[in-house]
Amino acid sequence: MSKYLYDENTDREDITMAIIPQKNLFGWEDVEELGDLERLVLILESMPDEKLVKTMELDRYKGRNDYPVRAVWNSILAGLVYQHPTIASLRRELKRNAQLRQVCGFDLWKGIRAVPPNYVYSRFLKKLMEEYSHFIDEMFDELVKMLTELLPDFGEALAIDGKAIQSFANRKSDKEPDGRRDVDANWSKKVYKGIRQDGTPWEKVTSWFGYRLHLIVDSNYELPVHFRLTKASDSEVKQAHGMIDDLASDHPLLIERCSEFTADRGYDDGKLMVKLWDEYEIKPVIDIRNCWQDPDPTKLLGNYTNVAHDYKGTIYCYCPNDGTQREMAFAGFEKDRGTLKYRCPARQYGISCTGHNHCSVATGIRIKLKKDRRIFTPLSRSSYAWERAYDKRTSVERVNSRLDGFFGFENHTIRGQTKMEVRCGLALCIMLAMAVGRIRQKRPDLMRSMVTSA
């Protein structure tokens, strides 16, 4: 009976993302001759999995070695890279493809007898999840460090988002865990709102049973730098606080490089914006919800009689003669003062204003961030720079799309949080390993290409 990769019935034994020690598999000069196998070779060459491999080999020690740990582990990676949905599908391909068996490290002299049976993969995967899953997190962090060294601007712009991942189960089980039921997942929902072209509001509610993948990515390179998997109902904002602190602890250089941190309005939290700027000097580029109860779209700003702002922090001045409303021009952030500077639109844009000569704000104004840390941020929400930075948020969506499309998270058979964490970690490690391989190959233009070969 076939077993799905990391499904409810899989047992794990020893996992090893490593290159076969008997010989150097391939140098970069050989890659072009491999065709579709190039992707797998790049990943096996780049994956920092030696520690995991050696630990599992030592664990086996004097046990039978009919199916080498390294070869089995490499074949599991091959199953993910070539999108095999089940172990049975992977085994069929290994039996058919002698070159793939060679790349994975199986003994060619044994022919198809070298391909492990189902139970070997089941035990292998079970042991990985129960005893060695922490090595996957370590490999992920090591790959992030590699990219930080290889790419001088890696981490300059980061983005965060949460991804809904449904469990293969449709409800939480109250029975004892046995690997075939989900005792971890729970329900959550997400509400989408907007305004139609005719001005009428719309609302859409989606719900799912499963988990939420919290993902921080480099928004320029569209590569992950940190992740967490939680139950579906866990707060995105609370996880963001912890993830930023973890990233600062594990990858201080990355946080030091970061200048912008982008998120949608689901992360609209004043404390998060304060943390980003005050603790790490990272400009928060986070969309904002309209929490004003007053129907008036603007409020007077401080003691000014002819200056107002809306809930997004856009600053308006009013002509003292005729009351004409105009948006003031953003003139930059003054870090030493902690203020946003705005200039008179008449003076900045050459607009005719009848009250300019006796306007109290004709020389411009300064607004302190502390007036409202949620509304006023170091990068003004009304500036073009904020819009350009916010557009990079879609990088997370594209990474999530690859998880769904290439790595099969839209159609999987995974039950249980541990299995889901391992599966997510492996997928993200493969993304990073491919990027490292492409950069070393001097083909950075293909660092996100998981489907087509060079």
Q: Report residue 19's pLDDT band, with 50, 70 and 90 as the boundaries.
A: very low
Do 342 and 365 touch, CB atoms closer than 8 A?
A: yes
Query: Has residue 230 been placed in a domain?
Result: yes
Query: Has residue 241 been placed in a domain?
Result: yes
Indicate whether 270 and 326 sit together in one domain. Answer: no
In Å, what is the CA distance from 370 to each residue of 273, 278, 366, 367, 373? 11, 11, 12, 9, 5
Which tokens sit at 437?
């391989």
Residues 29-48 have a mean pLDDT of: 73
What percentage of residues in the chain have a pLDDT greater than 70? 89
Integer Cα distance of 277 and 377 in angstroms = 9
For the cut 70, the answer to whether the pLDDT of residue 209 exceeds it is yes
Which tokens sit at 109?
């002299």
Residues 406-435 have a mean pLDDT of: 90
Per mean pLDDT, which range of 25-34, 137-146, 382-391, 423-432 is the poorest?
Answer: 25-34
Helix (H, G, I), strand (E, B) or coil at 238: helix
The pLDDT value recorded for residue 450 is 57
Indicate whether 230 and 323 sit together in one domain. Answer: no
Instruction: Find the helix or strand (DSSP H, E) in which 262 lies.
Output: strand 260-263
Name the residue with tokens 């491919």.
434
Query: Has residue 372 been placed in a domain?
Result: yes
Indicate whether 218 and 320 sit together in one domain. Answer: no
The DSSP 8-state label assigned to residue 276 in this structure reads I
What percentage of residues in the chain have a pLDDT greater than 90? 65
The pLDDT value recorded for residue 63 is 67
Please name which of 225, 277, 215 lies closest in space to residue 247, comparing C-alpha atoms.
225
Helix (H, G, I), strand (E, B) or coil at 216: strand
What is the total count of domains within the chain?
2
Indicate whether 163 and 264 sit together in one domain. Answer: yes
Indicate whether 270 and 162 sit together in one domain. Answer: yes
Residue bearing the bigger pLDDT, 148 or 61: 148
Mean pLDDT of the chain: 87
The pLDDT value recorded for residue 395 is 93
The pLDDT value recorded for residue 31 is 38
The pLDDT value recorded for residue 199 is 78
For the cut 70, the answer to whether the pLDDT of residue 17 exceeds it is no
Give the residue numbers spanning the domain of 227: 157-290+391-396
For the cut 70, the answer to whether the pLDDT of residue 6 exceeds it is no
- Which of 396, 428, 448 corresponds to the end of one domain? 396
Per mean pLDDT, which range of 15-19, 260-264, 394-398 is the poorest?
Answer: 15-19
List of residues 6+ apart from 95 with CB closer than 8 A: 112, 115
In Å, what is the CA distance from 373 to each residue of 125, 157, 227, 290, 440? 48, 21, 27, 15, 43
For the cut 60, the answer to whether the pLDDT of residue 33 exceeds it is no
Instruction: Find the helix or strand (DSSP H, E) in which 403 lies.
Output: helix 394-405
Q: Residue 118 phi/psi, 5° resolution? A: -55, -40
The pLDDT value recorded for residue 175 is 66
The pLDDT value recorded for residue 128 is 93
How many angstroms from the chain centroid is the CA of residue 40? 22
For the cut 60, the answer to whether the pLDDT of residue 71 exceeds it is yes
Instruction: Find the helix or strand (DSSP H, E) in which 91 lies.
Output: helix 87-96
* pLDDT tens digits along 330-370: 999 999 999 999 999 998 998 889 898 889 899 999 999 99
The pLDDT value recorded for residue 303 is 86
Please name which of 170, 210, 167 lies closest in space to residue 186, comparing C-alpha atoms.
210
Q: Residue 419 phi/psi, 5° resolution? A: -65, -40
Q: Report residue 179's pLDDT band, with 50, 70 and 90 as the boundaries.
A: low
Indicate whether 307 and 354 sit together in one domain. Answer: yes
Q: Report residue 24's pLDDT band, with 50, 70 and 90 as the boundaries.
A: very low
For the cut 80, the answer to whether the pLDDT of residue 165 exceeds it is yes
For the cut 90, the answer to whether the pLDDT of residue 431 exceeds it is yes
The pLDDT value recorded for residue 357 is 87
Q: Residue 300 phi/psi, 5° resolution? A: -60, 145
Q: Any idea what the CATH number is for the domain that residue 214 is in?
A: 3.30.420
Indicate whether 261 and 285 sit together in one domain. Answer: yes
Indicate whether 282 and 305 sit together in one domain. Answer: no
Per mean pLDDT, which range of 12-21, 123-132, 169-178 is the poorest?
Answer: 12-21
Do 45 and 74 touch, CB atoms closer than 8 A?
A: no
According to DSSP, the β-strands at 201-218 and 157-166 are antiparallel
The pLDDT value recorded for residue 16 is 37
